[in-house]
Structures are given as structure tokens and as C-alpha cells.
Chain A
Amino acid sequence: MESQEAGKNPVVQKLRDWNPQAVAEVTDFRGETTIVVPRQLLVRVSEYLVDEPSLRFSFLSDLTPVDRFPMEPRFELNYHLLSLNRKERLRLQVKLSGADPSVASVTPVWPTANWHEREAFDLFGIRFEGHPDLTRILMPDDWEGHPLRKDYPVEGYR
């Protein structure tokens, strides 16, 4: 869903100038810009957003999956970025299928993603390729299942 204002955001323009395929979709809701990035371009887009001197989105605030079961693509991974220089926030979104939810890890770009990705793996079952230590973080190590998925009951199994 394209919106007029979102298209005018200078960050979106820069990203489009750098690589038109980087911006699959862009939306603007309550003053927040969300850019949907194709899964295979995630790391390159992240590196560009961090390295480009006029952007410098060097702070990754949060990495949140949303489970849209039974819709496909099932998972939406939200990366909340912050540029301390521009005093601006941005959200990147990557959509993953339910059958094989995996994406490249962004720990080389933002080391803080380490524990966020472990939590996403633990609670949603999303695999991050290249993560240095993809193990459960909140649930016990021998837990089966991924509790925050929509097909996991809120009262649990035990």
C-alpha cells in the first residue's frame, strides 16, 4: 500500500536512488515510515543505511516479529532503526513464509541484534543464518514449540 507522503520521505528517495528494488512497499502511519525490503536484500540495505554518511541509521532499537497466521507470508520482521544524527526513526519490514522462516542475521551490521534474534528464534521459530549463537534465550533449553506463534495456546501445554 503506497501512500503519497511516504513516497516523499527523503530516506525512501535515497534508498530508491541507490537500488530501486530495495523498496518493495512503503507506508506511512501516524508519522512512522515503514519500508518493506525484499528478504534477500536485507543485509545490503542495512549496510547502506548504516554507512551512508547522510543517513547513519547506526542504532537498532528493536527487532520484532509479528505472526500473521494463517495469512501468507506468515511472519513480518520489523527492524526499528534510529539515526542519532538525523534524529529520525525508520522501520524496515521483511516478510517471511511460514514453511521456512529464515533470513540473514544482521549481527554483523548491528551487534545488538544478537539477543533480539535469539528471542525471535526462541518465541517464533525464525532462523537467522549466520547468527553466532542461535539458541533459546527466554524459554528453557529443552522447550518444544515456539510460544508466541498464533497457533500456540496462551495457556500453554503443560
Chain B
Amino acid sequence: MTTIETAAGPAEPMVLNMGPQHPSTHGVLRVILELDGETILKARPVIGYLHTGIEKSCEDKTYSQCITLTDRIDYLAPLSNNLAFCLAAEKLIGIEIPKRAQYIRVLLTELTRVASHLVWLGTHAIDLGAMSVFLYCFREREEILKVLEYVSGQRMMTSYFRIGGLALEPPPGWLEKVGRVIDLMPGHIDQYEELLTENRIWIGRTKGVGYISAEDAIAMGISGPLLRASGVPYDIRKVFPYSSYDEFDFEIKTATEGDSYARYTVRVAEMRESLKIIRQAMGKIPSEGPFRADLPGIIPPSREEMKTSIEGLIYHFKIFTEGFAPPPGQVYQAIESPRGELGVFMASDGSPKPYRVKFRTPSFVNLQALPKLCEGRLIADAVTCIGTTDIVLGEVDR
């Protein structure tokens, strides 16, 4: 333990425990702070309070069964996790997904990105005292969850993307519902900006707080809005496009200051870009066509086929009891989740159950940088720094 100089002579710093039960740690995160008065000398995050062994459980389930587990990793953007896992499995097996399913995946993933950023903005703002923003953001998010419920039957843990495409045919009229939500969104985002962007208190609490340089960010493996706010234009949707993202027209939003205010501007701009992508996707999705690939041994047959043909019945039985076996090998598939690079590493040994699944979650890696962000600043800035890293403990701990 370091000694600090005080008016009464040398003394030990105070060790303060923040969490794991704390309204501002966004989950069960514990941060051990060594303080000199209100200045943070050292911050040490302690994690593992939400570790449920998802990766171990995946080794005991067939590939399709694992998808329901993936929802719960980053529980604020469940469709992102579904997408990452399904893309990895599809890469491993070597399947091509029909374009219609790809466009629907893009639309729903971007909708999830907006929903996730709304939660981030609402909780970050309320941590710093702006309580109305929290209620407005959640009101908008409610509309998005209603759309997801209409499409998949579930508000949050949708498991809507499956290996080969989607779980179900989207119901009629869903695009109109999506359209109604995103017609109103730009106005709402303007409302949040009106409340925060030029607000003296907001600027005072976020400008210059939690600075990280581009070199440090790359060295620490940081990705997502944190990296882009430090000036590095790395967005996996553009650099390694997946699921037809290269057919969409959108920009990578960056900032140069690398502080919490810059991250705020980047995420708000990203929300607007996501709305652009959703609108383009709405125009691209053909009204008819397959919602999943046609691979009899791997993708389950439709209910009608299963009930009327013997091959359908046999495939259904085999797929749901035994599962399908991809070739042996390993793949790493990364997507741009709302928090950064979400990667799935999948190793197969030729059996129907994955041999190893590793979820490289952005929050786990970004949280490592917390000491760098808040050491040397005040305790109140620790709250800002945790909020601006946008962590989800389900992702950190799995």
C-alpha cells in the first residue's frame, strides 16, 4: 500500500469498496478503490459475481440448443449475441443464408443497437443526475420491445436468429410497426440532445473525464464506441462486413477527444446511423422468399413438411434428438455489437455438440481499462467512467 502525505504526517490511503451491490455499477461489479481524500489512487475491478458457466454449458448442448443461452450473455442486446453465434456456426458448417433472412437480421440487429444505446444513455444520464432522460429513453425502448415481441414472441430473450436464418416467418404487418417506431425516433433523439448536449452540468461531468488515447485503447484491446471516440475508425460492420452489411450505406462515427463526452456524441450519432440502416433494410427486404436456408440434415423442416412427409419426420427427429454435426475445425467470427467487438470462437470435433465455445465479449475487455480511465480523478468520476464504458455484467462474467 502506498503512503500519502497529509498535513498530519504520512498516512495510508483509505480503501473503499464500491459494489457489488451498487446502483451505479450497472450490475454486480465490485470496484476496490484506494483513495486519498476524494482522489482515486488505484481502482481494481473485481468480477465474477454473475459467472454462470455459459461456455461450459454450451459444451453439453447441441448447437441449436446453445442459442437460447447466448441471449443471456449481453442481455441488453440479445439479438446481437444470437447473430454472432449463428454466424459462427454457419461459417463452421459452411452455409449460405438467403438474402431475405440476412436483411431481416440486419434490421433487427440495428433495432437492438438502438434499444441498447437507449438503455446506456438512460442509465448513464441517471447516474449523473439527469432523471428525465432515463424515463424518456425507456419509453422509447418500450416501443422497440413491443416490435420485437410482435415479431418473435419475446421482448428481450428472443432467440429469433437460428442457424440457417430465422426461427419463424415474420408476421404480417411487422414492417409497418417498425416504420412507425423509427419515424418518431429522430425527434426523440433530438429531445435527448436538447436536454444533454449543451447542458452545463452534463458537460462539466463528462468533458475531460475518462480520457484514453488511441494507442492505449488499441493496446488494451478496446473496441466499439470507446475506440471510435478516441479517433480509430474501426467498425467491424465496415472492416469485415457480415450478413450483407456491405450493401448498406452508413458512416462510421468517430470523435477525437477520447473522453466521456466524445463517447456520448459517438453513441448518439450511431443511433441515428442505425435508423438510416433500418430504413434502407425496410426497402430491401423482399415480401416473399425463404426465411432460412434449405439444408435438410441441418435446418429443421417446416411443420407442414414434418407432418406430411416421412423424410420431413425423420429429419425433424434426427435434428431435435441428435443434432447435426459440423466438420471438425475452428472458426472465429466477430460482429460489431453495441459495445464493441463481440467474437465467438467455436471449435468442433465433428460431434453434434460444440467442443469449445468462447465468447469474446467487449465488456470484459473494455472493463480492463477502467483503472486507466479513472485513476487520478475523483470518486464521482468513477461513476462516469463505469457508465461510459457501457458494460453489461452478463457479458463480463458469462
Inter-subunit contact B365/A32 (CB<8 Å): no
Inter-subunit contact A29/B356 (CB<8 Å): no
Tell me which of A18-26, A35-43, A83-91, A94-102 binds B. A83-91
A114 to B56, CA, bound (A): 22
Inter-subunit contact B364/A80 (CB<8 Å): no
The listed residue with most B CB atoms (<10 A of its CB), out of A62, A84, A87, A112, is A62
Residues of B with C-beta under 8 A to A138: 47-48, 51, 397-398
Inter-subunit contact B221/A60 (CB<8 Å): yes
- With A60-B221, A61-B360 as given contacts, are A140 and B345 in contact (CB-CB < 8 Å)? no
Q: How many A-B residue pairs have CB under 8 A?
A: 88
Asked if B8 lies at the interface with its beta carbon under 8 angstroms from chain A, I say no
Inter-subunit contact A32/B331 (CB<8 Å): yes
Partner of B57, one of A32, A91, A139, A154: A154
Residues of B with C-beta under 8 A to A59: 218, 221
Inter-subunit contact B360/A139 (CB<8 Å): no
Residues of A with C-beta under 8 A to B35: none
- With A80-B343, A91-B332, A137-B47 as given contacts, are A64 and B356 in contact (CB-CB < 8 Å)? yes
- With A154-B57, A154-B59 as given contacts, are A84 and B48 in contact (CB-CB < 8 Å)? no
Residue of B nearest to A66 (CB): B356
Inter-subunit contact B219/A62 (CB<8 Å): no
Inter-subunit contact A61/B355 (CB<8 Å): no
Shortest beta-carbon distance, B48 to chain A, in Å?
A: 4
Shortest beta-carbon distance, B145 to chain A, in Å?
A: 30
Residues of B with C-beta under 8 A to A91: 332
Inter-subunit contact B345/A64 (CB<8 Å): yes
Shortest beta-carbon distance, A139 to chain B, in Å?
A: 6
Asked if B60 lies at the interface with its beta carbon under 8 angstroms from chain A, I say yes
Asked if B368 lies at the interface with its beta carbon under 8 angstroms from chain A, I say yes
Inter-subunit contact B355/A32 (CB<8 Å): no
Inter-subunit contact A62/B343 (CB<8 Å): yes
Shortest beta-carbon distance, A120 to chain B, in Å?
A: 10
Shortest beta-carbon distance, A115 to chain B, in Å?
A: 5
Residue of B nearest to A67 (CB): B356
Shortest beta-carbon distance, B217 to chain A, in Å?
A: 10
Residues of A with C-beta under 8 A to B232: 84
Shortest beta-carbon distance, A68 to chain B, in Å?
A: 9
Asked if A145 lies at the interface with its beta carbon under 8 angstroms from chain B, I say no
Residues of A with C-beta under 8 A to B234: 84
Asked if A147 lies at the interface with its beta carbon under 8 angstroms from chain B, I say yes
Inter-subunit contact B330/A62 (CB<8 Å): no
Inter-subunit contact B56/A147 (CB<8 Å): yes
Return the CB mask of B30-58 against A: 1 if under 8 Å, else 0.
00000000000000000110010101110
Shortest beta-carbon distance, B246 to chain A, in Å?
A: 13
Q: Please list the 8 inter-chain residue pairs (A to B) with the smallest Cβ-Cβ separation, ordered nearest first.
A: A112-B221, A62-B360, A138-B48, A64-B358, A138-B51, A29-B329, A66-B356, A154-B60
A residues whose Cβ falls under 8 Å from a Cβ of B = 29-30, 32, 34, 58-62, 64, 66-67, 78, 80, 84, 87, 89, 91, 110-112, 114-116, 136-140, 147-148, 154
